[in-house]
A and B are shown apart, each in its own frame.
Chain A
Amino acid sequence: MKKEKILMTGNEAIAEGAIQAGCRFYAGYPITPQNEIPSFMSTHMPDSGGVFIQAESELAAINMVYGAAATGVRAMTSSSSPGISLKQEGISYLAGAELPAVIVNIMRAGPGLGNIWPSQADYFQATRGGGHGDYHCIVIAPASVQEAYDFMYLGFDLADKYRNPVMILGDGTLGQMMEPLEIKQPKIKNYAKPWAVTGCKNRPRNIVKSFHLKEGDLETLNLSLQKKYKLIQEKEERYEGLYLDDAKIILVAYGTMARIAKSAMHKLRAKGKKVGLIRPISLWPFPKKIFQEIVSHKQSAKFLVAEMSYGQMVEDVQLAVNGKAKIDFLGRSGGGVPSEEDIIRLIK
């Protein structure tokens, strides 16, 4: 039987995917280019028996997500770069209280108000914690409308599995473009949440908090978080690799930039150039192992990292490669997007 596909924007696919993944709480505040997500949620979330709230600010929205997540409900918010900056305190609290939640960031260009053009300049604020304290969000980067939908299942599953905030990191292009989408409805794994605040009927009271004043308590918690992050780093690295067996030059790009890099790779291969691609899907944990494997087996491979930002992910590639291979960088920012030709020119 031929699988039926529907046409959707990336933003709508994210919202549809979230509801299909069992998300029953959404709070957000308007900001371009992600406005289709709250619009979709405002009708479809109540229709699915969930709660939609247009919050008075990004601060209120992320703290509403915190409240809903504290009760054990699958909860999410979405925003774009300046709005994510505002949510970072709340995300730090989610990480500290070990609450599962999904935060969607459809990036626009900065710094400051910047503009509404697509960008990848939030890589640092997504993968380095972003807010205060020693913590990580799991960061997943879709590169198509189908992945935008599929990764909402993955995001909510990882959030529950590790009791950790998950950020879905896309850009304005991915959010706004339309592509055919197959609605898959995979099985959702339900995780027990004995820690949730639901009223202390027939059990001792539950307290959701990130405050640990007594000497040593916070260090103990932080060490247990580090243990969790190490496990996530071991188990959850994700990437797409193309022509890594014969490639002499390996392009490295994620999200929208990876689509452009992939087109450039095909054109170059048609001309006989041995070019491959690594597309990181998990940005944290960054897929280090594949880079380490390549540089330990193929002395001659070179990397070209392409970003819609001025050198952010390239730092993770440098850390993974650890000086064992040459790394070139191509980046544009402020709404500028490196083209196929820009990549081809550098490889010729």
Chain B
Amino acid sequence: MKKIYSRPQSLRDVVNHYCPGCGHGIAHRLVAEVVDELGIREKVIGVTPIGCAVVAYDYWDFDCSEASHGRAMAVATAIKRVRPQNIVFTYQGDGDLAAIGTNETIHAANRGENITGIFINNAIYGMTGGQMAPTTLAGQKTATCPRGRDIKLQGYPLKISEILAGLPAVKYVERVAFDSPQGVIKTKRAIKQAFQNQIEGIGFSLVEMLSPCPTYWGMSPEDSLKWVRDVMSKEFPLGRIK
């Protein structure tokens, strides 16, 4: 019998701590598959965030360093500069990368650090209980905008990927969504491209993933995927941005 599908070597056999229908599990696995396929498990260093994915390192069987909230791009910058022979990536949520860490994100990108950013956008703060994120949609209800995000008071959803794409040193930005099997395939392709760019020394690459959070969206996992497809991806258009 031929084995055609198994756990990636880079993915550890641990109990899943994420909520039912959460997107992190898919993103973790896709990163592990790409690391295996590129044969970089022994030289990859992951920089993990504060947020729901704070223990992302528990899922991966390669070296990782925790970063304080928002500073993953600064930590990754230093690791890559002192060890250019390694493959360094950050894994960050929207609060981490696009609110408290906006400064580190923009400046690492603007310096053209040869690193890879994996950006999970679920339009909410999950770990702390569903507060408004920089990427929360207009009208979307959260724990800190219970009447819905009012753009007059709280501004518009921040499109950090479009901002980064405007910087000359940024080489690759793509927004994907794993709302369907096709979306998962596209997401994996984009992650692979972002790592491949680093291997080839091309420069700063970022993949933004629209990711479901059924718990704090107050939806079933199935409806969450539908919301990603029908609502979220209208605000955050999918495809190659740069």
Chain A residues engaging chain B, CB cutoff 8 angstroms = 24-25, 27, 51, 53, 55-57, 59-61, 63-68, 70-71, 73, 75, 89-90, 93, 97, 197-202, 205-211, 213
Which of these, A53, A75, A90, A199, contacts B44 with CB under 8 Å?
Answer: A199
User: CA separation between A90 and B104, bound complex, in Å?
Assistant: 14
Knowing A56-B103, A209-B57 are in contact, say whether A27-B65 is a contact too (CB < 8 A). Answer: no
Please state if B68 and A93 are interface contacts (CB–CB under 8 Å).
Answer: yes
State the Cβ distance, A128 to closest chain B Cβ, in Å.
Answer: 20
User: CA separation between A65 and B75, bound complex, in Å?
Assistant: 8
Which of these, B45, B54, B86, B107, contacts A60 with CB under 8 Å?
Answer: B107
Residue of B nearest to A93 (CB): B68
Please state if A59 and B77 are interface contacts (CB–CB under 8 Å).
Answer: no
- Residues of B within 8 Å of A66, CB to CB, are 65, 67-68, 71, 75, 78
Which of these, A56, A68, A90, contacts B82 with CB under 8 Å?
Answer: A68
State the Cβ distance, A264 to closest chain B Cβ, in Å.
Answer: 45
Please state if B75 and A63 are interface contacts (CB–CB under 8 Å).
Answer: yes
Which of these, B55, B64, B103, B107, contacts A208 with CB under 8 Å?
Answer: B64
Please state if A63 and B74 are interface contacts (CB–CB under 8 Å).
Answer: yes
Of A97, A199, A201, which is in contact with the most chain B CB atoms at under 10 Å from its CB? A199
The answer, yes or no, to whether B62 is at the interface (CB within 8 Å) is yes
Residue of A nearest to B83 (CB): A71
State the Cβ distance, A295 to closest chain B Cβ, in Å.
Answer: 43
- Residues of B within 8 Å of A61, CB to CB, are 74
Knowing A63-B75, A66-B75, A199-B44 are in contact, say whether A73-B57 is a contact too (CB < 8 A). Answer: no
- Residues of A within 8 Å of B77, CB to CB, are 53, 64, 67
Q: How many residues of B contact A (CB 8 A)?
A: 33
The answer, yes or no, to whether B81 is at the interface (CB within 8 Å) is yes
Which of these, B45, B60, B66, contacts A209 with CB under 8 Å?
Answer: B66
- Residues of B within 8 Å of A202, CB to CB, are 42
Please state if B42 and A70 are interface contacts (CB–CB under 8 Å).
Answer: no
Residue of B nearest to A70 (CB): B65
User: CA separation between A197 and B85, bound complex, in Å?
Assistant: 13
Please state if A90 and B41 are interface contacts (CB–CB under 8 Å).
Answer: no
Please state if A60 and B74 are interface contacts (CB–CB under 8 Å).
Answer: yes
The answer, yes or no, to whether B123 is at the interface (CB within 8 Å) is no
Please state if B47 and A60 are interface contacts (CB–CB under 8 Å).
Answer: no
Knowing A197-B45, A199-B86, A205-B61 are in contact, say whether A64-B66 is a contact too (CB < 8 A). Answer: no
The answer, yes or no, to whether B189 is at the interface (CB within 8 Å) is no
Please state if A199 and B63 are interface contacts (CB–CB under 8 Å).
Answer: yes
The answer, yes or no, to whether B76 is at the interface (CB within 8 Å) is yes
The answer, yes or no, to whether B11 is at the interface (CB within 8 Å) is no
- Residues of B within 8 Å of A205, CB to CB, are 60-64
- Residues of A within 8 Å of B54, CB to CB, are 211
Which of these, A27, A198, A199, A206, contacts B78 with CB under 8 Å?
Answer: A27
Please state if B42 and A67 are interface contacts (CB–CB under 8 Å).
Answer: no
Residue of A nearest to B47 (CB): A67
State the Cβ distance, B84 to closest chain A Cβ, in Å.
Answer: 10
- What are 14 residue pairs bridging A and B, where the CB atoms are less than 8 Å apart in the complex? A56-B103, A60-B104, A63-B68, A63-B104, A68-B81, A70-B65, A71-B45, A199-B62, A200-B42, A205-B60, A209-B64, A209-B66, A211-B55, A213-B55
Residue of A nearest to B88 (CB): A67
Residue of A nearest to B100 (CB): A59
The answer, yes or no, to whether B191 is at the interface (CB within 8 Å) is no
State the Cβ distance, A77 to closest chain B Cβ, in Å.
Answer: 11
Knowing A71-B83, A200-B63 are in contact, say whether A53-B78 is a contact too (CB < 8 A). Answer: yes
- Residues of A within 8 Å of B42, CB to CB, are 199-202
The answer, yes or no, to whether B79 is at the interface (CB within 8 Å) is yes
User: CA separation between A278 and B86, bound complex, in Å?
Assistant: 49
Please state if A198 and B63 are interface contacts (CB–CB under 8 Å).
Answer: yes
State the Cβ distance, B83 to closest chain A Cβ, in Å.
Answer: 5
The answer, yes or no, to whether B240 is at the interface (CB within 8 Å) is no
Please state if B66 and A210 are interface contacts (CB–CB under 8 Å).
Answer: yes
Knowing A201-B42, A207-B65 are in contact, say whether A70-B79 is a contact too (CB < 8 A). Answer: yes
- Residues of B within 8 Å of A90, CB to CB, are 68, 71
- Residues of A within 8 Å of B55, CB to CB, are 211, 213
Please state if B81 and A51 are interface contacts (CB–CB under 8 Å).
Answer: yes
Please state if A68 and B65 are interface contacts (CB–CB under 8 Å).
Answer: no
Knowing A55-B74, A68-B82, A211-B54 are in contact, say whether A63-B62 is a contact too (CB < 8 A). Answer: no
The answer, yes or no, to whether B43 is at the interface (CB within 8 Å) is yes
- Residues of B within 8 Å of A210, CB to CB, are 66
Would you list which residues of chain B between 68 and 107 have a CB under 8 Å from chain A? 68, 71, 74-79, 81-83, 85-86, 103-104, 107
Sample of 6 more A-B contacts, CB < 8 Å, known A70-B65, A197-B65, A209-B66? A59-B71, A59-B74, A60-B103, A70-B79, A93-B68, A197-B63
